[in-house]
Structure 1
């Protein structure tokens, strides 16, 4: 994501591990660099070791419930001290997939959002990377996102809702030669995924609902949902000192809650001169983030909560809920920003 889009300050682990990454990010980070797929040509070829057919999934009791555990050759992948089993490392030369249970729901389409639960394990040392099962969390995977791990984009279309899958993914289909140190994934590590495909759906392409007449004194907006919005700042008006959230279209979908993964299209404009500084519509790809995970500026986290999918929002963010706490020299540090945001999806 070319700076200065809403900045990525921290990352929600469960959604992140589904994305390729070539840097650890940080304040002011470029999201396109954070989630861009690795250069396949640069990935070191790792000779395959072990046998994927001997990888299995068992259920174990944990905190009064059952959670899936990946085993190899009938044994846990680590001992009681967390040390790798003698049978490791396990690696594969190409992504392999095995259907453990068929699904009877609708098949996943290549451009849909997929709801799933999953467990990820590092096949080099047997360590768990992340699991959504202890909290029964569901993660939404956008198959149209070019930053998605290639192994998922290739394997999930056509899978029916309700299916359970086991995948082994080599570096070239995962985090590449650079690995991802924050997740404990080194260069050359194969990843194992156990997936439960809950369902899939197609997000909105633009806001849908009842138009709303905003109060006087606010910027006026002309938006068709397919190109960057045109925003006119009211002449002679001082910018508001507090966050302004005004629906321009009232959607009829579910309400956005803290913790939801949200997909939006947006245009951002400076109050000072009315110039557009960024637009996902110009970039040609919606933007996704987890609400309340500090992945975006505070005004966004605060502004979308309680709003319905399908809504078009006018968000006016003074510096203290925009880039006011950014490093010195940030070009938007002292700016009040105006956003037109279409909420396309939320889970």
Structure 2
């Protein structure tokens, strides 16, 4: 049996976060991953680190801590990160009401760093391309990562600079009290962190069963401008997103906005559609997303959902768009909180996301879980 100080099961963002935190503490670390390279939620997302969108309290604190860790990690591992914030656009007076209520009552008390832009100020952005909006909230702390390139870069950095051993194409079949049985043999560690993504059956199903967890399936698109192109340099959201994110969703104006959308746009609400736009480093845009929940993730996409996303993006950007690529994202959903960190035994900890903000809080989850288990 080969032994390490720390073994991490799963090489997605939570697994990487735990491995990074442990290796920085001078621990010998192995990461066991069933694929050659993790290809789950961590590379299928927008790469938005949306500090401004997180609910006050622990989620906002973890988002701010994760932001610092992302900037540090991007410098060390040499991958692309945008640090110039994001824009939440108000397309109507009702959406503007949400942004104004947030700015007046929650922005300072919650420790957020953001500016509320008037219609005139919004119209000055990008040579007037957004002038058809009523207002905008400019989040100053928000980041964007190009996930499909960032994860391999981080993996290389951990292996080459911090000595992390990656044991890939290997299934972990059982773990208990510091021992991990896999298809490549048995391994031992002072502590094991299990980060299985949305796989609730392979390892310790008895831990997950009482939580009655579900999956969220998303439809996402990579597009290019077909007309009226401009150089978007930060992620965009609209007021439609405010009814989904904890920083806004419980505000009275956001509750009223949700009721308005449900009455006027039931298809959007029934399919959990809200617009997110992330520019890639190559001048393309990642747009989405939708949400369908269940215990499984059927592989079949709805063209009506893709059409709705394209319509929303075209209206927001004032441009025609051409689809380059389509895919599904899948992540864990409907847990007791946005994430869970569960001590299973004195030498085993399980960490899973129950929401789509792993990029926003994941590094802090790993940092704090490792500190709790190992000290320091």
- Which of the five TM-score ranges fits, normalised by the shorter chain? under 0.3
Q: Per residue, is there more helix in 1 or in 2?
A: 2
Structure 2 length normalisation: TM-score?
0.23
Larger radius of gyration, structure 1 or 2?
1
Structure 1 length normalisation: TM-score?
0.25
